[in-house]
Structure 1
Amino acid sequence: MRQHMMGSMIALTALLGGSVQAQLLPGPIGALPGQVTGALLPSLAQGGPATVGSMVDTLGLDRVGEGLDRASLRDLRRARLHALIGANRATLEADENGSPVRRGEVIVLDPSPALLTKVQTVGFTVLRQDRIVGLDIAVVILRAPKGDNGREALVRLRKLDPAGQFELNHIFEPAGSALMATTAALAAGSSGKGHAIGMIDGGVAAHPSLAAARIEQRGFVPGAPRASGHGTAIASLLVGNDGRFQGAARDHALLAADVYGGEPASGSAEAIARAIGWLATNGVRVANISLVGPPNRLIERAVQVAQSRGMTIVAAVGNDGPAAPPQYPASYHGVIAVTGVDARDRALLEAGRAAHLDLAAPGADMAAALPGMGYAVVRGTSFASPLVAARFAVASGDSAARLATVTSEAQPGRGNIGRGIVCKPCRIAPATVGAKK
């Protein structure tokens, strides 16, 4: 087992082939950024202790080679989740499938006053009680009785009220990539409201490509939003504008919901649901979620309500390979599930799976912003998802019309890519912006 895991790690350091130039696509939903030659001088991200090399490694799997198979990816996923829980034992524990959850917390949806009274008589404590603004979902977070873990508390509650809606407070991860919290300054701009695209991720750092962007950020964990490498990269692919680097929805405002606050043990189902509610309240039509986790009743309900109010949710399928369980929210009905392709239009071999797969977009051999200044070579379905979200954002009409418009531009590729590849010209070749590997 140890040798197999070591082989998996070594496989992640093998270099894949370089990027190729993409061609501008004609289409009915607006001009796409093209590719140009030349290079910009990169520099280290400001305000963080990491080197460019270590920062790039946390943004995505940009080096993948032979030996990376389904079993390797499955083992890496298990090891990663185990390590996350082990490093945060005061706040996290595992559910029955090994996924991280908030320790001793149980979510109750739309509980009656009688039920709340009943559960408190058997040892549960009410930690938080509220209605999610924008979604009108009543949520109560219970603390398990002394001596019970979350799994045991869930069993106890279901016996107490078989018709009740109970769930653990799962933790969702950036889709196959580390959060990479940083002390870099947050991106700031004029109000992001008004024809905005939404994202739920880590916080967005200041960067030249985002200097003129209309961005509003809000935190959904205690404390102010905190910049992250993952969130900055996603934001740049959406609304970046810096010479040769052009985001795919750069004329849109951006509402960025930070569900981590710089802490990898954050990203709870509760925080994500509240973030969806904030986006819905502000009239966001399209939201990108490059996060993955197990099925969760609260997230499912939040997605359903947001969709009923006209929001299109686009989500990455993750990078844990086809042997991993289906990932959420990409697997929920109506969510646009996105995988990634490389510069040769090949599906990423590490791409995860969902209950359905809708579209693919560039997810390798491409550049995205580093916190502060400079660009990194990124890889993963995390970075394909915002490109698809951008195409939905610039399309017109209701959800059905936007879906029809975007899928009409899908082009063939190799491997499991759903209905095809969209936003092919959105790939920014690393060489054109001097991106660091």
Structure 2
Amino acid sequence: MNRYIIFSALLTVLCTEGNAAADIGNKALESINNKILNESIIKDKIKHDKEFYKELPREVVGEINQSLNRIDAVAETTINPLKQDVAVTEIKNTIGQTVYVEVEVEDGWRAIDREWLITVNSDEVRLLETLGAEIKEHQKLDNLELLVVRFKIPSNQNEKDIIEQLPERLKKQLGRNHVYEASQSHSNGDDKAQGNKILDSVCNKPIKVGMIDTAINTNHPTFKAVDIKQKQFMQEAVKTPTAHGTAVASLLAGKDQLTPLLSQATLYAASVFYPRNNYSQGAPLINLIKALDWLAGENVEVINMSLTGPENPILEAAINQALKQDITIVAAAGNEGPAASPRFPAAYKEVIAATAVDSNNDIYRWANQGEYIDFSALGVLVKTARVSNGSSYEYGLESGTSIATPVVTAKVACQIVKDKAKKTIISNLELEAIDLGEPGRDPVYGYGKLE
């Protein structure tokens, strides 16, 4: 019976969620060439199973989700190239020189090999040097009022031994130079598919909106009449990806075939990512905090962060300093599945976490869930600007929490125009949100859907 329930639920999910989950289902059907089941029979079966699945007790649904997550984990590592990171990845510039060495560290996260960040004063820098640390960079962040030192522990020394020699106070101000990922959206190959959604405009008031993402290809026709100020935070001669940032920016302010969420916005876009391969990107933490400092100096009102990664004391310190300047930060909840651990910066208390739903208000299959979720918004099969082969400008359908995040950012921006008080912004959005799932705030939809 349990196997029947799990298989039925899996069929329902594969049928209803589109994008990545649908792709897996389609490949499965193609691989057997319809030799076992007729497609019409499958559809009838799914319709029956969908109704059956809705009537199951909550505890049974929980068991199903756990089983599906185990299946997801296997499928992701065997099918999805985004998950096939090697233990050590060398990031090279355009002339073949290695500029970063990315490795796997604690809890499966990624970081720049043997690099650490710490907030210190000038006297404490000398302490690091006496312990044998190689100081790579002093970064004075004037707008965030932080001094961050990036240092590397030489390969002939034990990282743990060096860290243990630091005073307890400094250990609390220390974090790896973790690598954060674009909250990767899953595209749908059929641009004429059912469910092609163009988001509606939210408001037309002038406002400064910050973005921390990949670079934006501003040559795309969607940005022809959009005011974009872009700054690069990657090392020189490092190739910069543009797909993710272009899609996110097109939702916020793109025109041509799209309706901008914020028609009068000025976008301040910080490019912080390098490409790992054709499918994924990485952003060292040092780039993120430099970007936050720049955006604070530009007096943006709200920052969209469609990226995710681990908790880190340095990231938290930088975000807290930005929040003190009345900047509101909206971040993607993550696309690692309902059983995944919290993703940051979304999971920080004062950051607004956005998740994705489809046009039927069903939660996005791959969305993270947890007590940190604040709001949901349409983020499945949404039309965005797309760049193909670096030069062909197109539009396509994208899905993910990173696609829903601009909607929440836009709603926050419009509230800021009316009243900059953070508590007022949140309370107003709570009242505006369409309650989904359990009554009140819940770990799946947050306070509800914004549209």
TM-score bracket, normalised by the shorter chain, equals 0.7 to 0.9
Instruction: Kindly provide the amino acid, as one letter, of the partner of residue 317 in structure 1.
Output: A
1:226 deviates by 3.5
1:268 deviates by 1.2
Q: Which residue of 2 aligns with 1:422?
A: 450
Secondary structure of 1:97's counterpart equals helix
How many Å separate the matches in 2 of 1:106 and 1:348? Answer: 35
On the 8 A contact 1:339/1:385 being kept in 2, the answer is: yes
On the 8 A contact 1:215/1:255 being kept in 2, the answer is: yes
1:402 deviates by 2.3
How many Å separate the matches in 2 of 1:61 and 1:120? Answer: 50
Q: Which residue of 2 aligns with 1:401?
A: 424
Listed as ranges, the gaps of 5+ residues in structure 1 are 1-6, 19-56, 180-193, 424-437
On the 8 A contact 1:73/1:320 being kept in 2, the answer is: no
Q: 1:381 aligns with which of 401, 406, 409?
A: 401
Q: Which residue of 2 aligns with 1:23?
A: none
Q: 1:343 aligns with which of 355, 359, 362?
A: 359
Secondary structure of 1:204's counterpart equals coil
Q: 1:277 aligns with which of 272, 293, 313?
A: 293
Q: Which residue of 2 aligns with 1:234?
A: 248
Q: Which residue of 2 aligns with 1:426?
A: none
The verdict on how the C-alpha distance between 1:265 and 1:360 changes in structure 2, with shifts beyond 3 A counting, is closer
On the 8 A contact 1:200/1:289 being kept in 2, the answer is: yes
1:304 deviates by 0.5
Q: Which residue of 2 aligns with 1:46?
A: none
Q: Which residue of 2 aligns with 1:222?
A: 235
How many Å separate the matches in 2 of 1:176 and 1:70? Answer: 18
On the 8 A contact 1:16/1:64 being kept in 2, the answer is: no
The verdict on how the C-alpha distance between 1:374 and 1:16 changes in structure 2, with shifts beyond 3 A counting, is farther
Comparing 86-95 with 164-173, greater Cα deviation is found at: 86-95
On the 8 A contact 2:182/2:281 being kept in 1, the answer is: no
Question: What is the CA deviation profile of residues 382-436 of structure 1, one whole-angstrom value per residue up to 9, with x for unaligned ones?
Answer: 100111001111222112222233222201334720101002xxxxxxxxxxxxx
Secondary structure of 1:299's counterpart equals helix
Query: Which protein has greater RCO, CA pairs closer than 8 Å, 6+ apart?
Result: 1
Listed as ranges, the gaps of 5+ residues in structure 2 are 1-6, 26-45, 47-64, 92-99, 188-205, 439-443
The verdict on how the C-alpha distance between 1:413 and 1:237 changes in structure 2, with shifts beyond 3 A counting, is same
1:203 deviates by 0.5
Greater helix share, structure number: 2
1:153 pairs with 2:159: yes
Written as runs of structure 1 = structure 2, the 5 A alignment for 1:240-389 is: 240-243=254-257, 245-262=258-275, 266-371=282-387, 372-389=392-409
Written as runs of structure 1 = structure 2, the 5 A alignment for 1:83-102 is: 83=85, 85-88=87-90, 91-102=101-112
Q: Which residue of 1 aligns with 2:70?
A: 71
1:14 deviates by 5.2
How many Å separate the matches in 2 of 1:62 and 1:390? Answer: 29
How many Å separate the matches in 2 of 1:311 and 1:76? Answer: 39
How many Å separate the matches in 1 of 2:411 and 2:373? Answer: 17
TM-score, normalised via structure 1 length? 0.74
Question: What is the CA deviation profile of residues 284-335 of structure 1, one whole-angstrom value per residue up to 9, with x for unaligned ones?
Answer: 1111101000001111011111111101100011110122111000000110
1:197 pairs with 2:172: no
| Identical amino acids, percent of aligned pairs | 27
The verdict on how the C-alpha distance between 1:345 and 1:269 changes in structure 2, with shifts beyond 3 A counting, is same
Instruction: Kindly provide the amino acid, as one letter, of the partner of residue 176 in structure 1.
Output: Q
The verdict on how the C-alpha distance between 1:272 and 1:73 changes in structure 2, with shifts beyond 3 A counting, is farther
Secondary structure of 1:361's counterpart equals strand
Question: What is the CA deviation profile of residues 9-47 of structure 1, one whole-angstrom value per residue up to 9, with x for unaligned ones?
Answer: x99x956467xxxxxxxxxxxxxxxxxxxxxxxxxxxxx
On the 8 A contact 2:102/2:113 being kept in 1, the answer is: yes
The verdict on how the C-alpha distance between 1:277 and 1:72 changes in structure 2, with shifts beyond 3 A counting, is farther
Secondary structure of 2:107's counterpart equals coil
Instruction: Kindly provide the amino acid, as one letter, of the partner of residue 325 in structure 1.
Output: S
1:162 pairs with 2:168: yes
How many Å separate the matches in 2 of 1:121 and 1:207? Answer: 51
How many Å separate the matches in 1 of 2:370 and 2:119? Answer: 25
1:378 deviates by 0.7
Comparing 365-374 with 69-78, greater Cα deviation is found at: 69-78
Instruction: Kindly provide the amino acid, as one letter, of the partner of residue 109 in structure 1.
Output: T
On the 8 A contact 2:347/2:353 being kept in 1, the answer is: yes
TM-score, normalised via structure 2 length? 0.72
How many Å separate the matches in 1 of 2:263 and 2:450? Answer: 17
Instruction: Kindly provide the amino acid, as one letter, of the partner of residue 249 in structure 2.
Output: A
Size of the aligned set, in residue pairs, is 356
1:87 deviates by 3.6
Q: Which residue of 1 aligns with 2:43?
A: none
1:102 deviates by 0.5
How many Å separate the matches in 1 of 2:285 and 2:146? Answer: 13
Comparing 319-328 with 412-421, greater Cα deviation is found at: 412-421
The verdict on how the C-alpha distance between 1:287 and 1:161 changes in structure 2, with shifts beyond 3 A counting, is same
The verdict on how the C-alpha distance between 1:88 and 1:174 changes in structure 2, with shifts beyond 3 A counting, is same
1:73 deviates by 3.8
On the 8 A contact 2:88/2:104 being kept in 1, the answer is: no
On the 8 A contact 1:62/1:364 being kept in 2, the answer is: no
